[in-house]
Amino acid sequence: MFKVLENEVFKTKRTIIRPITVLFPLLVVVFTVLFFNSTGYVLESTINQWSFLWLNLYLALIIGLIDRYEKNSTEYKTILSSPTNLFAYELGRILHGALLSFIVSFFLVVFLILTSFIWTVRVGMVSCLVAVGGLFLTTIWEIPLYTWLSRISNFYVTLGLAFIGSMIGIYCVTTFSWGPILPYGWSNLFPVALIKLHINGTPIKIGALVPNASWTIFASIGLFIIFSYLAAYSFQKQVIKNA
């Protein structure tokens, strides 16, 4: 499985995957500075935007592109001829997606730290860093889902699901009492107490009680394990059937 991860990392060497992973969070920071500078909460607003839309789109984009490269090059024939267990192979591809998610989160942290030298942080830098780390974990469940979906459909379906899911997630979380049970709403809920911004981007009043949403991390990890197993099992059965 880790050998597969190493191979997947090597495959991205001459692709746009790596540049996107660096530039994507930078563009998000620039976008937030341009449109949310007047609010006085540039760093907090960046994390807020990252939580409900941009990270979801990045995961769908990057996983969809990886799948497209694989289909255009060998149509998974290399994997078919590999002695590696197909179940383990798919788990390795999922781990690669998780690694990219971690790396893009790391670069966002770097850009946030650099931005903090220009714009003040109301909640403290540590809270921002914890929020970004938590967002990596609360969205990790999406990786096996997109890995499976992009393989059985295409890049556009995966990207469309990420966008629609993000919109539905933020709408339901802010509208219905049952909204927090939706996985797409977990990343919306987690950073609220840390960045002191409501999901809609408005500041939380001093002294206001904010529910602890750390449970979303454990829920996301649990769903990640379940989806990873199902995606790997589906890949194994589908490839054997088509072989």
Domain layout of the chain by residue ranges: 2-242
Report pLDDT digits (tens) over 79-126: 767 677 889 999 999 999 999 999 999 999 999 999 999 998 889 899
What's the pLDDT score for residue 80? Answer: 67
In this structure, which long-range contacts are made by residues 190-194, counting pairs with CB atoms below 8 Å and at least 24 apart in sequence?
190/51, 190/131, 190/134, 190/135, 190/138, 190/214, 190/216, 190/217, 191/47, 191/48, 191/51, 191/131, 191/134, 191/135, 194/123, 194/127, 194/128, 194/130, 194/131, 194/134
Terminal Cα-to-Cα distance of the chain (whole angstroms)? 21
In whole angstroms, how large is the CA radius of gyration of the chain? Answer: 19
Lookup: tokens for 23: 């530039």
Model confidence over 219-236: pLDDT tens digits? Answer: 999 999 999 999 999 988
Q: Are 113 and 196 in contact (CB under 8 A)?
A: no
Strand partners, 203: 197
pLDDT of residue 210: 87
Q: What pLDDT is stored for residue 67 in this prediction?
A: 92
- DSSP annotation of 203: B
Banded pLDDT at 241 (limits 50, 70, 90): low
Per-residue pLDDT at 3: 84
- Residue range 168-219, pLDDT digits in tens: 999 999 999 999 999 999 999 999 999 999 999 899 988 888 888 999 999 9
Contact 8, 96 (CB under 8 A): yes
Among residues 99, 7, 11, the alpha carbon closest in space to that of 59 is found at: 99
* Tens digit of each residue's pLDDT (9 = 90 or more) over 20-50: 999 999 999 999 999 988 888 999 999 999 9
- Please tell me the pTM assigned to this model: 0.93
CA atoms within 13 A on the CB side of 222: 7
User: Does 74 have pLDDT greater than 90?
Assistant: no
**Cα–Cα nearest to 191, from 131, 141, 140:** 131
pLDDT tens per residue, range 43-64: 999 999 999 999 999 999 999 9
pLDDT, residue 1, reads 80
Give the pLDDT confidence score for residue 86 in this predicted structure: 87
